[in-house]
A = this chain, B = another copy of it.
Amino acid sequence: MNDKKMIEHHTHKLAETIKRLLRRRAIGPLRKIVNKIHEGDLSFLFRFLSLSEQLTLFDLIKDKEKQGYILSEIDRDTFLALVKDMSTAVLIDIIENMPSDDAADLIDELPPEKADAILEGMRKEESEEVEGLLKYQDKTAGRIMVTDFIALKEDTTARDAIISLQKEYSDVEMPFYLYVVDEEGRLVGICSLRQLVVVAPSTLLKSLMTKDVIYVQTKMDQEDVAKIVARYNILAVPVTDDNKKLVGIITVDDVIDIIREEATEDILKMVGAGEEFVETKSVFRSSRTRLPWLFVSCMGGLFAFYIIGIFEQALMQAAFLATFIPIIMGMGGNVGTQSSTIVVRGLATGRLHLRHFTTIVLKELSVGAVLGIFYGLLIGIVAHIRYAKWELGLIVCIAVISSISLAALIGSMVPLCLAKFRIDPAVATGPFVTTSIDIISVFLYFKLATSYLL
């Protein structure tokens, strides 16, 4: 029995042992370890190995299913590198043993010729299943569902249901729910394996099943699927086509992966660091992902440079004006980031909704005003004390208040407007919001200062 108390420690210890064995090319012990440990641990371990180490280990895995699991869990880049020199025959053998949703995902990543070769080489039944899934758009319910589920007719008895569970459905991924369908294969009810074993064997599914089934359609976005599974606390959700025909199920373990991925994606997108986790990629790839988003910030900076340039004359008379640029920009930037983060996350989790556009923006604006007045007074007083000039203090105070309030306004409006136009609100909200706040607040500050102070 595994003691999981120190699971992280344990995994990293294991990674070190494996690296040592790899260096010594101790194939025997490696083979033993690799085939003993859980595929969940193995795919986790893979993150800490180099490509050549991964290749060596991968070849030592005997079980095709374990190999398939690894391929479906690792990063896209690592996957492509791993399968690059693999023969089509070997790849077919692995992919045939994978759940159809994972197989479709992998085949979709491959270059078209290789993908076609694999689909042609696969058992007809399997390749049809995969091709069926590939018809659906990426990140929809149809794409992430598995097509092996237990579907029985309404007038099946509990006894017969158990028998077909033993015979027909011996390799179903989620054998805890049985779906009840009519003659046309349309979903009409659900019963749990548990209900099945506690009723009299002659009970018909019809009289046993729950008719109010929660289901999704193939076109639904995977994020919405995840929300439904989370909201109703279910272990699997059935997927139907437009005619309510049951075509697949989505299991909770895939939902967990979606929730984690989407959260990571949102967080990274917000700061303009790509969608996928880039830290494990090369320096070049990481830089290339992050470079374009910084362009927003660069253009904004050049714009601010131009604006301050307008006030160059004023600055020569009163150089001290420049000393407040960082604090006015910094406070605005931080409040704007807070507001946009709250709104982006709120929209993603369903805590906020586009329908309450005005309420959300007004709420943020009020919070911005409260924060602005607090810090405006504080910084204004510091300015007055430092330069013994109450007009300066007043102007700095007003500049901070307007910068922070505007920041809250822009920070909450930008993601809401993006969502309104059906653009993902997380897309580089960070750089965009902070940059526009920088420009506006610096301009306002200098305008105020030159109008009333000089």
> Quick one: which of B197, B277, B313, B363 contacts A283, CB cutoff 8 A?
B363
- Per DSSP, chain A at the interface is helix
A312-339 interface code vs B (CB 8 A; 1 in, 0 out)? 1101100111111111111101110110
Contact B341 A273 (CB under 8 A): yes
Q: For the complex, give the distance between the alpha carbons of A309 and B234 in Å.
A: 61
From 152 to 183 in chain A, residues with beta carbon under 8 angstroms from any chain B beta carbon are 162, 165-166, 170, 175-176
Chain A, 251-268, contact with B by CB distance < 8 Å: what is the 0/1 string? 011011101100110111
- Would you give the 0/1 interface string for A414-454, flagging 1 where the beta carbon is closer than 8 Å to chain B? 00000000000000001100110011001000000000000
The answer to the question of A298 belonging to the interface, with a C-beta cut-off of 8 Å to chain B, is yes
Q: Is A393 an interface residue (CB 8 A)?
A: no
Q: Mark A330-362, 1 if CB is under 8 A from B, else 0.
A: 110111011001110110011111011000100
Check B319–A279 contact: CB distance below 8 A: no
Residue total for A at the interface (Cβ-Cβ under 8 A)? 137
Chain B min CB distance to A65 (Å): 13
In this complex, which of A1, A230, A312, A378 has the most chain B Cβ atoms within 10 angstroms of its Cβ? Answer: A1
Contact of A322 among B193, B273, B308, B366 (CB under 8 A): B308
**Cβ B279 vs Cβ A360 within 8 A:** yes
Q: Does A2 contact B (CB under 8 A)?
A: yes
> CB-CB contacts of A223-244 with B at 8 A, as 1s and 0s?
0100111111111000000000
One of A4-12, A54-62, A114-122 contacting the partner? A4-12
Q: Is the CB of A194 within 8 A of B211?
A: no
Knowing that A176-B193, A316-B316 are A-B contacts, what are 4 other residue pairs whose CB atoms are under 8 Å apart, sorted by A's residue number? A4-B220, A230-B256, A273-B342, A298-B327
A interface, CB within 8 angstroms of B? 1-2, 4-5, 7-8, 12, 38, 40-41, 44, 47-48, 162, 165-166, 170, 175-176, 187-188, 192-194, 196-198, 211-217, 220, 224, 227-235, 252-253, 255-257, 259-260, 263-264, 266-268, 270-273, 277-280, 283-284, 286-287, 290-291, 293-294, 297-298, 300-302, 304-306, 308-309, 312-313, 315-316, 319-331, 333-335, 337-338, 341-343, 345-346, 349-353, 355-356, 360, 363-364, 366-367, 370-371, 374-375, 378-379, 382, 386, 430-431, 434-435, 438-439, 442
Are B351 and A214 in contact (CB-based, < 8 A)? no
Is there contact, CB below 8 Å, between A312 and B320? yes
The answer on a CB contact under 8 Å between B231 and A279 is no
